[in-house]
Amino acid sequence: MDSCATDLDLTDKKYQTEVVIAGGGLAGMVTAFELLNAGKNVLLIDKDVKENFGGLAKESFGGILLVDTPQQKRLGIKDSPELALRDWLSFADFGENDKLPLEWAKFYCENSIEYIYKFLDARGIEFLPLVNWPERGAHTTGNTLPRWHIAWGIGHEIAAKVEAGLANHPKNQKLTLMFEHEVSGFEQQNGRIVGVHGRKMRDGSTFSVDAEHVVVASGGICGGDLSKVRDNWYEPWGKAPELLLNGAHIFGDGLLHDQVQALGGNLTHLDKQWHYAAGVHHPRNKRPYDGLSLVPPRSALWLNALGKRIRNPAPIVAYTDTRHLVESILKEPGQYSWQLMNWKIAIKELAVSGCDYMSAFRYKRKLEIFRHLLFGNKELVNRLVNECPQDIVVARSLSELVDKMNEKNLGVLKTDLGTLTAEIKEYDDQIDRGPTYFNDEQLRLIMNFRTYRGDRIRTCKYQKINDSSAMPFIAIREFILARKSLGGIQTDIDSQVLSKEGWVIPGLYAVGEAAGFGGGGLHGKGALEGAFLGACVLTGRRAAMSITGVDKLASKS
Ligand SMILES: Cc1cc2nc3c(=O)[nH]c(=O)nc-3n(C[C@H](O)[C@H](O)[C@H](O)COP(=O)(O)OP(=O)(O)OC[C@H]3O[C@@H](n4cnc5c(N)ncnc54)[C@H](O)[C@@H]3O)c2cc1C
């Protein structure tokens, strides 16, 4: 960002701009880009260091939910906004008061090409030709069709390309970037928000900014010290697990959510959170309970701490319904799980959600990707085994494996060798009998997964667990990992913040995860995956369009 002023000293100063944006994740970046298009003066302030500009998007897998794209059409996938919305509603399970989330969901499905695909395409972001198909539903309809478009170069590329778009913008002299500064509150005059104040992270000195418009783009509440996650734990799930891992932003502490609420702004759906079921302790522990989210193999057996397969009511299987997986594990003793596989399954199916470990995708190494698809990703599995000894055990016999698992089981919980052996035998025997007689939901699902090319290349063909040619056994202890806040600051379809009474708070906008991805809860109870990044683009553009008057959809109250 050399061409932008990056180290303007605001210490104890009043500064003036047209629009101030609090947060430089994807949502903040996109808002800034769109505002520059309209020639606005923009000051973007982020608590983090400059190298992390782009926030979570930079670490993400870069998969985006898009509807009726050229990539889908080339694969013969016939998608439509109506079908996407139907699928969305089946996971969201909106209540009758969720009018704004519903309006945003409809807007997303109808406009993902215009608002998201075209914006990213214009920044030079390409998508892989094979569209992925997560969240196809376990007991509710999820994605009827593949919709998860992976950016070539994954999340890092998305953030880098948008950052380059800002740096090379013809009006980029109108953009000022401030890193390592925390926005800690808002300035209000006669009911209108007219600026922000905050402190410098390095020395605690203060600053304030006068602005015509303020955009909150500070992300969700799932990071920080996890206290907000626990305080807002979804009641029907009972108590939050004692050991919960943190996979969200280090600064996702909800500070600005609280400030918006103090102004009379409406926070909604904070108890709707998108956690993952397969978290392990992060080897580069940057904070307490730092977690790494694994993409769990579909051919692994998902067991509880006692060694029993987790059934709710059928055996749980990855890639179907993340919320169902989390709910199922939360009912088990200790509220954590074990995934049991062997080397052959791991190298074909195990992956990690995020940029760091998925280096072939991150650095666009096509040959390496093909090699991994053909022969398995041995480097990744070896790396995980070496770096995560806290949660991954490897053994050549089941008794050795169970001994190692029991060294790691929490409290009084013990995996029973007999139970685990019987579960494996029952599953493996079905595979021996052949697909005609598959009577196990996991095997039926695997059979179904393998009918789609995008999944066939990443799913073993009915791989037994106890198979001497696939040794060693690998068992992974997995915890619930907090990742995304589905709720947040309630906004109208122009990303304007609403009060508890439903009035617009003049001058104040919220975008991205801070706004619950739109309307304070775009996803309702559950997400189809990929609409997180997508909604950052969508809400950011809507906010900027509303500020500049380019396109206002909602009539103002
Ligand atoms: C490993 C990983 C993989 C993911 N994969 C996907 C995926 O494939 N598809 C998908 O759709 N989603 C994915 N996500 C989720 C997605 O990345 C996030 O939901 C999205 O990037 C959030 O963007 P944001 O701009 O709203 O917030 P953030 O990226 O959290 O950015 C918020 C910014 O605000 C700053 N900030 C916070 N508080 C303050 C303050 N008080 N003052 C100033 N600055 C502040 C922070 O430093 C940060 O830079 C993934 C997330 C992770 C962690």
Which residue of 532, 541, 542 sits with most ligand 1 atoms within 8 Å of its CB, as the best mutation to test the pocket? 532
Give the integer Cα–Cα distance in Å for 152 and 135.
21
> Among 362, 282, 279, which Cα is nearest to 58's?
362
**Given pLDDT bands bounded at 50, 70 and 90, which one contains residue 6?**
very low
pLDDT at 555 over 80: no
pLDDT at 74 over 90: yes
Quick one: which atom of ligand 1 is closest to the CA of 23?
A: 34
pLDDT at 552: 54
pLDDT at 302 over 70: yes
pLDDT at 5: 44
pLDDT at 223: 85
Token pair listed for 40? 């606005």
Provide the residue type at 337 as one letter.
S
**Given pLDDT bands bounded at 50, 70 and 90, which one contains residue 550?**
confident
Token pair listed for 325? 């997986």
8-state DSSP, 223: S
Range of lowest pLDDT (178-182, 220-224, 553-557): 553-557
Q: How far is the CA of 55 from the centre of ligand 1 (A)?
A: 5
pLDDT at 2 over 60: no
Whose Cα sits closest to atom 30 in ligand 1? 219
Contact 8, 173 (CB under 8 A): no
For residues 230-254, average pLDDT? 95
Q: Is the dihedral of CA 302, 308, 311, 314 positive or negative?
A: positive
How far CA 551 is from CA of 223, 495, 539, in Å, comes to: 34, 12, 13
pLDDT at 448 over 50: yes
For residues 212-235, average pLDDT? 95
Which residue of 44, 53, 60, 177 sits with most ligand 1 atoms within 8 Å of its CB, as the best mutation to test the pocket? 60
Q: How far is the CA of 368 from the centre of ligand 1 (A)?
A: 28
For residues 398-425, average pLDDT? 98
DSSP bridge partners of 489:
267
pLDDT at 554: 43
pLDDT at 11: 54
Which residue of 34, 218, 528 sits with most ligand 1 atoms within 8 Å of its CB, as the best mutation to test the pocket? 218
Give the integer Cα–Cα distance in Å for 393 and 408.
9
Give the integer Cα–Cα distance in Å for 230 and 210.
35
Contact 22, 217 (CB under 8 A): yes
Whose Cα sits closest to atom 33 in ligand 1? 23
Whose Cα sits closest to atom 4 in ligand 1? 60
Report pLDDT digits (tens) over 493-534: 999 999 999 999 999 999 999 999 999 999 999 999 999 999
Token pair listed for 481? 């990992």
pTM surpassing 0.85?
yes
For residues 70-82, average pLDDT? 98
Task: Considering only the C-alpha atoms of the chain, give the largest distance between any 2 of them, rounded to a whole number of Å.
Answer: 75
pLDDT at 431: 98
Contact 19, 40 (CB under 8 A): yes
Report pLDDT digits (tens) over 127-157: 999 999 999 998 899 999 999 999 999 999 9
Give the integer Cα–Cα distance in Å for 222 and 209.
27
Contact 58, 534 (CB under 8 A): no
Buried b / exposed e along 73-109 (16+ C-beta atoms within 10 A) = eebebebebebbbebbbbbbebeeebebbbbbbbbbb
Q: How far is the CA of 422 from the centre of ligand 1 (A)?
A: 43
Whose Cα sits closest to atom 17 in ligand 1? 57
List residues near ligand 1 (CB under 6 A). Answer: 22-28, 45-48, 55-57, 59-64, 182-183, 217-219, 247, 249, 251-252, 255-256, 353-354, 484, 512-514, 530, 532-533, 536
Whether the link from the prior residue into 472 is cis, omega within 30° of 0, is yes
Q: How far is the CA of 219 from the centre of ligand 1 (A)?
A: 5
Q: How far is the CA of 266 from the centre of ligand 1 (A)?
A: 21
Q: What percent of the chain has pLDDT over 70?
A: 97
pLDDT at 9: 55
pLDDT at 557 over 50: no
Q: How far is the CA of 19 from the centre of ligand 1 (A)?
A: 21
Give the integer Cα–Cα distance in Å for 520 and 424.
44
8-state DSSP, 232: T
Round the average pLDDT of the chain to a whole number and report it: 95
Between the two ends of the chain, the Cα-to-Cα distance in Å is: 39
Contact 298, 457 (CB under 8 A): no
For residues 291-298, average pLDDT? 97
- H-helix or E-strand containing 104? helix 99-111
Report pLDDT digits (tens) over 338-391: 999 999 999 999 999 988 899 999 999 999 999 999 999 999 999 999 999 999
For residues 308-329, average pLDDT? 96
Quick one: which atom of ligand 1 is closest to the CA of 182?
A: 42
